[in-house]
């Protein structure tokens, strides 16, 4: 346990956040956060609520969003909430109509997501493992960003993709559904980014390591593994809003990438 604390301090230094720059960047701006009802999205909403912005928060859990709205209304930001399952076309359309009716949009933080940790042979007859992850981790953000591009072009806006280091590593067993869907959006976003940039829209990707949120709770193996805190991830994402950096990844990723190539090549060579 003590070792974990030391490792976490080394691996996940609390990211520096220049609050004045953040406040200047966000003042009077409209910021959409998908998946704002829990984990990283929730922490980000509360952090940005300290600035003079207008937040649009979307997720399925209406009650949780209402509770957050009541708290945020006592802070600096204005807030709009919308409950929608972004995998369901009609609900996504209704949400997008709502955003278009608001009329302006400066930032989109594409954060809503679902992970599944399951061996392939336990997914037999469970097509939903693959269709559901693709629906929320790939098709929903593609449709959302595509619909909002005209508003973002008008404002010279910025899209931040909340991704995972797994998209940059050799794929790991038991994570096929999650990794394939997150990698699909990562590839789509990297391909779209130059076109967004040439239309005055900034594009950033945050490649997060393991973050301690409700998403990882069902995976027993992760309870003892060093992880970043959700509020640290929120600070990181916030700093991207003013720095406009194209990517963020942990400093220790390259040796891990090298090790993952080596360790995964061995079983692959035996086939």
Could you list the active site residues?
Answer: 178
Q: How many residues does the chain have?
A: 271
Nearest of 248, 249, 127 to residue 176 by alpha carbon: 127
- Spatial contact of 45 and 34, defined as CB atoms under 8 Å apart: no
Q: Does 37 bind ligand NAP (CB under 6 A)?
A: yes
Which residue, 54 or 87, is less far from ligand NAP as judged by CB?
87
Residues 75, 49 contacting (CB under 8 angstroms) = yes
Rounded CA-CA distance 152/99 in Å is 12
Closest separation in Å from C-beta 156 to ligand NAP: 25
In this complex, which beta carbon is closest to ligand NAP, that of residue 156 or of residue 218?
A: 218
218 near ligand NAP (CB under 6 A): no
Residue nearest to ligand NAP (CB): 39
d(CA 204, CA 36): 18
| N- to C-terminal Cα separation, the chain | 38
Q: Taking CB under 6 A as the rule, does residue 232 contact ligand NAP? A: no
Burial of 159 (0-12, 13-18, 19+ CB in 10 A): buried
Q: Which of 38, 68, 40 is nearest to 55 (CA)?
A: 68
**Site membership for ligand NAP, residue 96 (CB under 6 A):** no
61 is a site residue for ligand NAP (CB under 6 A): yes
Q: In the complex with ligand NAP, which residue's Cβ is closer, 32 or 112?
A: 112
**Count of C-beta atoms within a 10 Å radius of residue 264:** 15
Site for ligand NAP in 133-152 (CB under 6 A): 136
174 is a contact residue toward ligand NAP (CB under 6 A): no
Nearer to ligand NAP, 155 or 247 (CB): 247
Residue 114 as a binder of ligand NAP (CB under 6 A): the answer is: yes
Of the candidates 87, 117, 158, 235, which one interacts with ligand NAP according to CB under 6 A? Answer: 87
Give whichever of 164 and 204 is closer to ligand NAP, judged by the CB atom. Answer: 164
Of the residues 172, 180, 216, 253, which one makes contact with ligand NAP according to CB under 6 A: 216
Give the CA-trace dihedral at 49, 165, 243, 136, to 10 degrees: -50
Considering the rule CB under 6 A, would residue 225 count as an interface residue with ligand NAP? no
Query: Rounded to an integer, what distance in angstroms lies between the CA atom of residue 229 and that of residue 210?
Result: 9
Interacting residues with ligand NAP (CB under 6 A) = 35-41, 59-61, 85-87, 111-115, 136, 162, 164, 182, 208, 210-211, 213-216
């Amino acid at each position: 346990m003590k070792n974990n604390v030391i490792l976490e301090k080394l691996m996940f230094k609390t990211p520096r956040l220049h609050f004045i720059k953040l406040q200047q960047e966000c003042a009077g701006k409209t910021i959409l956060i998908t998946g704002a009802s829990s984990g990283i999205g929730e922490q980000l909403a509360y952090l940005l609520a300290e600035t003079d912005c207008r937040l649009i928060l979307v997720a399925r859990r209406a009650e949780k969003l209402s509770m957050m709205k009541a708290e945020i209304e006592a802070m600096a930001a204005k807030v709009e909430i919308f409950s929608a399952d972004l995998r369901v076309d009609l609900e996504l359309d209704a949400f997008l109509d709502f955003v278009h009716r608001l009329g302006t949009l400066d930032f989109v933080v594409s954060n809503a997501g679902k992970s599944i940790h399951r061996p392939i042979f336990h997914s037999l007859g469970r097509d939903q493992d693959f269709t559901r992850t693709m629906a929320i981790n790939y098709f929903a953000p593609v449709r959302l960003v595509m619909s909002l591009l005209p508003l973002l072009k008008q404002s010279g806006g910025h899209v931040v993709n909340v991704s995972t280091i797994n998209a940059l590593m050799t794929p790991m067993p038991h994570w096929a559904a999650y990794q394939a869907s997150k990698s699909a959006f990562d590839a789509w976003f990297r391909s779209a980014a130059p076109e967004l940039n040439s239309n005055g829209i900034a594009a950033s990707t945050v490649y997060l390591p393991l973050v301690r949120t409700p998403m990882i709770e069902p995976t027993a193996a992760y309870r003892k593994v060093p992880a970043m805190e959700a509020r640290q991830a929120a600070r990181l994402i916030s700093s991207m809003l003013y720095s406009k950096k194209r990517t963020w990844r942990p400093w220790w990723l390259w040796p891990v990438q090298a090790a993952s190539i080596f360790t995964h090549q061995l079983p692959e060579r035996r086939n």
